[in-house]
Amino acid sequence: EVQLVESGGGLVQPWGSLRLSCAVSGFTLSDYSVNWVRQSPGKGLEWISYISASGTIIYYADSVKGRFTISKDDAKNSVYLQMNSLRDDDTAVYYCARDGSTTSSFYYTHWGQGTLVTVSS
Amino acid sequence: DIVMTQSPDSLAVSLGERATFNCKSSQNILYSSNNKNYLAWYQQKPGQPPKLLIYWASTRESGVPDRFSGSGSGTDFTLTISSVQAEDVAVYLCQQYYGSPTFGPGTRVDIK
């Protein structure tokens, strides 16, 4: 069974940093791309980052470019999102989501349950 | 970015009735080289992540009941539930993946 489990969320002050983890099982990270998608009441669902199965292709949404860094460790079956210079509008539930095919489809067949990040002083 | 809009914002239907929701993209999301529309539909229930229902605008995901169907092309798309069941109460979201992925705001479905 495919599973993705996020962790690392919490309360952080503006300009602070947080590192999210996504532990995966039931599939091989080197076969599928993984994305981070966030959801807030104000903005709805927002795709924020992508890492290819090979790890060599990475994309970011403009809203997080230069502040967030996606990475992965295939041996640990984990994908990470390092978030720096956090702002109030980064407050959201953060999901990791797996692509639907081994050829980077960008539709998401499997999602984690999400981890809440709250940016507030 | 491609902007996705959905209508209506919410919909109340009786059990067993047909429900239809619309999704519109700000630009064409039909890729001419493969004749595929880069459009997915998700169902999201409170406190849960989205669940994929439809991709390539009309391909049903494995395990999704056949009362769910998707149609449309170019910029205008429709999700239809042929006979609404109680468990279909949720928010339905469309997503384009032609460019950087973007999602619509969703249509909330309730039982009348």
What is the pLDDT, as a whole number, of residue B35?
95
pLDDT at residue A102 in the model: 83
Q: What are B22's two structure tokens?
A: 């619309």
DSSP B57: T
Q: Rounded to a whole number, what is the distance in Å from the CA of B16 to chain A's nearest CA?
A: 27
Is A38's pLDDT higher than 80?
yes
pLDDT value of position A103? 83
Give the mutation candidate from A38, A96, A108 for the B interface (greatest B CB count, under 10 A).
Answer: A108
Contacts of B33 (CB under 8 A, 6+ apart): none
Distance from CA of A64 to the nearest CA of B (A): 13
Q: pLDDT (tens digit, 9 = 90+) per residue, A64-95?
A: 999 999 999 999 999 999 999 999 999 999 99
Asked whether B81 and B68 are in contact (CB, 8 A), the reply is yes
Q: Cα dist. B67→B10, B50, B52, B87, B101 in Å? A: 19, 18, 14, 12, 26
pLDDT digits (tens, 9 = 90+) for B16-44: 999 999 999 999 999 999 999 999 999 99
* Distance set, CA A13 to CA A42, A62, A120 (Å): 19, 22, 5
**3-state class of A107 per DSSP?**
coil
Q: What is the pLDDT of residue A9?
A: 97
